[in-house]
Amino acid sequence: MKSSPPPRVPPVERIEAVTNNTMSSPIQETTTRPSRREQSPSSPPPSTGKYSLLQFAMHHFRNNAEQELLKMDTPMKSKDKRREWTWKQQTDLVKWQPNPLESSMLRLDEIELNPLAVECFDCILRYCGDLPLTPDMSEVKCVYTVLMHCHKHVPLRDEVYCQLMKQTTSNKSDSPESCQRAWRLLSIVAAYFACSETLLPYLTEHLNNAASDRRRICHGTAAVCLSNLRKTQRCGGRKNVPSVEEVTAVSAGRSARRQIYRLPGGAERVVNTRCSTVVADVIAELCSLIGVASEAEQQEFSLYCIVQGDAFTMPLAADEYILDVTTELHKASHPFYLIFCRSVWYHPLKHDASPLYTEVLFNQVAPDYLEGLLLRLGSSNLPPSIIRDMSLIAALLHRAADLNHSPTLKEVKFLLPKPILGLREPRPPQWLALVQTSWGQAAGLQVARAKHRVLQVLSNWQLFGSSFFAVKRVTGDLDNWQEHILALNRNGVHFLDMMTHETLQHWPFAEVISTRKVRSEDGALFLDMKCGNLLQQRVTRLQTEQAHEISRLVRQYINLEQLHSSRSPK
């Protein structure tokens, strides 16, 4: 964790400010994480009839269409005649048609988008079987063309939504799959792109009408459309162009692919990942798999994308689309894997845990323990209670490796934290005797139970559940930098001595006012942490390439602290 002292700090340019406290500050921001719980599409609200496509057409379809609707042979036509003629022309605008469009349905400000809108409708007709496919236009290419145009030109998204709403209204096609395919394409588009706030109530009502009417064959697909639309409106839709393989799968109705996710320790789990699957969905499913049902506790877990060659990594954002991430990495031929782990430790250890829950947490905690990060050495001898704990943990670790014999001297050296081996007391033979004495408590345990007992013992240590970072902290003038281990846990921010791990400075999260990431002219990354109260504040500058992750964890702990405080009785 050590590194050479940094040079004198040059002037820095502020690149971001994140405030994480309830105390007033001119740079305070409030961050709200979206809920991971999806609204159920199984019971859509009843239609109000207020937001029909016909109503939308009267206000937003092209001017030439509106002018055609309002044409009169003579200005003295009767009101009944006008109403009959106008109604028929209006409804024809929003019903299925078998022939291509001559121009876009919506008013598009950019003239060059009009032929693209016409091309999209032509692709829809061919995909649905209303027009024959050509040698150079396959079903996959039809879908890909629509998605590509929508990805590149945001105004075309509402246009394509209107085209698909039209083709799923009173569909009288001779092609038996036309209506079903139009709904499938609508569900695909809804999984990739959000619509405008103007169109949203009309599109929602169109989907609600179909999803709530179980007499209609398409009601199930309409419910999927509604679910996809809610997610894209909340998460913003896909950011990157999908791969041809992905489009081939979704156009054929294969909505999910098998994606491997790693757990700490190397175990793997497969989660069916759809084009609309976001990180929060995967975390929720994997949390359910390990027995974490509480939504609040699920937010303490993260999904990281580990790319070969990257020294540091950040967890993926909750609303980030999995296939956006993997597609780009596949295109760049970067070896990677997705790992699920706990990033924040606010909720206490579960004692009625499943074996998989224990496995995940054990494989996160054990390496830090053996590295010595959880251990406070101090300046005097180790307390007897800590010696007893480490003796028992060593015996439990031996049993956790599925070994049935009493540990040997050579094995004991690998069961103790690294710094312990350099101490004068106890010496290795003494440790062997202590561990063998504790072996009786571990020998009869199942492997999973031995791992859980390790977590139980360590959960009473002050640094249990900490995230550790190697940082350099400036003290006094800007030339005086000192190396520290920064530990973040539910009790606050701790600056630890590099050797003894004793706490040199501690701030509870109630005193952390803000964090601010800054980058110098030579590219060095710093984190300014403002702590104190309204009367007295102090800014501590840290140099670390993990400033983003530290800032994120501080903010997450503070949000959890505030949430817990608001729920606790006064």
Is residue 348 one of the residues assigned to a domain? no
Distance CA 13, CA 33 (A): 28
Q: Over 80: is that where the pLDDT of 86 sits?
A: no
Q: Over 90: is that where the pLDDT of 223 sits?
A: yes
Check whether residue 59 and residue 98 sit in a common domain: yes
As given in the structure block, the two tokens for residue 372 are: 């010595």
Q: What is the CA radius of gyration of the chain?
A: 31
End position of a domain, from candidates 458, 473, 499: 458
Helix (H) or strand (E) holding 259: strand 256-262
Q: What is the pLDDT of residue 167?
A: 95
Q: What is the pLDDT of residue 338?
A: 94
Is residue 2 one of the residues assigned to a domain? no
Peptide bond into 426 cis (omega under 30): yes
Check whether residue 95 and residue 233 sit in a common domain: yes
Of 218, 228, 213, whose CA–CA distance to 47 is shortest? 213
Compute how many other C-beta atoms are within 10 angstroms of the C-beta atom of residue 409. 13
Q: What is the mean pLDDT of residues 84-99?
A: 75
Q: What is the pLDDT of residue 24?
A: 33
Distances (CA, A) of 282 to 10, 38, 263, 265, 300: 42, 13, 12, 19, 14
Q: What is the mean pLDDT of residues 13-17?
A: 45
List residues bridging with 517 in a β-sheet. Answer: 16, 527
Q: What is the pLDDT of residue 49?
A: 60
Assign 3-class secondary structure to 139-173: HHHHHHHHHHHHHHCCHHHHHHHHHHHHHCCCCCC
Q: Kindly report which listed range (29-38, 228-237, 370-379) carries the lowest average pLDDT score.
A: 29-38
CATH (domain of 452): 1.20.80
Q: What is the pLDDT of residue 425?
A: 81
Q: Over 70: is that where the pLDDT of 318 sits?
A: yes
Is residue 39 one of the residues assigned to a domain? no
- For residue range 535-549, what is the model confidence (pLDDT) as tens digits? 888 889 999 989 999
Q: Over 80: is that where the pLDDT of 207 sits?
A: yes
Q: Over 60: is that where the pLDDT of 227 sits?
A: yes
Check whether residue 378 and residue 492 sit in a common domain: no
Check whether residue 102 and residue 185 sit in a common domain: yes
Check whether residue 121 and residue 85 sit in a common domain: yes
List residues bridging with 496 in a β-sheet. Answer: 485, 503
Q: What is the pLDDT of residue 77?
A: 45
- For residue range 471-519, what is the model confidence (pLDDT) as tens digits? 998 865 566 788 999 999 999 999 999 988 999 999 999 999 999 999 8
Is residue 42 one of the residues assigned to a domain? no
Check whether residue 208 and residue 87 sit in a common domain: yes
Is residue 502 one of the residues assigned to a domain? yes
- For residue range 409-461, what is the model confidence (pLDDT) as tens digits? 999 999 999 988 888 888 889 999 999 999 999 999 999 999 999 999 999 99
Distance CA 369, CA 390 (A): 10
Q: What is the pLDDT of residue 309?
A: 77
End position of a domain, from candidates 391, 424, 458: 458
Check whether residue 69 and residue 201 sit in a common domain: yes
| Residue range(s) defining the domain that contains residue 430 | 355-458
CATH (domain of 270): 3.10.20.90
Distances (CA, A) of 78 to 69, 82, 83, 90, 414: 15, 6, 9, 18, 97
Is residue 347 one of the residues assigned to a domain? no
As given in the structure block, the two tokens for residue 269 are: 């789990």
CATH (domain of 126): 1.25.40.530
Total structural domains in the chain? Answer: 4
Q: What is the pLDDT of residue 4?
A: 43
End position of a domain, from candidates 401, 428, 458: 458
Highest mean pLDDT among 43-47, 67-71, 245-249, 275-279: 275-279
CB 519 within 8 A of CB 512: no
Q: What is the pLDDT of residue 251?
A: 80
Check whether residue 403 and residue 532 sit in a common domain: no
Distance CA 192, CA 149 (A): 12
Distance CA 485, CA 499 (A): 9
- For residue range 32-67, what is the model confidence (pLDDT) as tens digits? 334 443 444 344 444 456 788 888 988 888 854 444
Q: What is the pLDDT of residue 22?
A: 38
Check whether residue 215 and residue 284 sit in a common domain: no
Q: What percent of the chain has pLDDT over 90?
A: 60
- Say whether pTM exceeds 0.85: no
CB 472 within 8 A of CB 525: no
Check whether residue 208 and residue 319 sit in a common domain: no
Check whether residue 533 and residue 389 sit in a common domain: no
Is residue 25 one of the residues assigned to a domain? yes
Is residue 41 one of the residues assigned to a domain? no
CATH (domain of 487): 2.30.29.30
Of 335, 327, 328, whose CA–CA distance to 308 is shortest? 335
Check whether residue 291 and residue 224 sit in a common domain: no
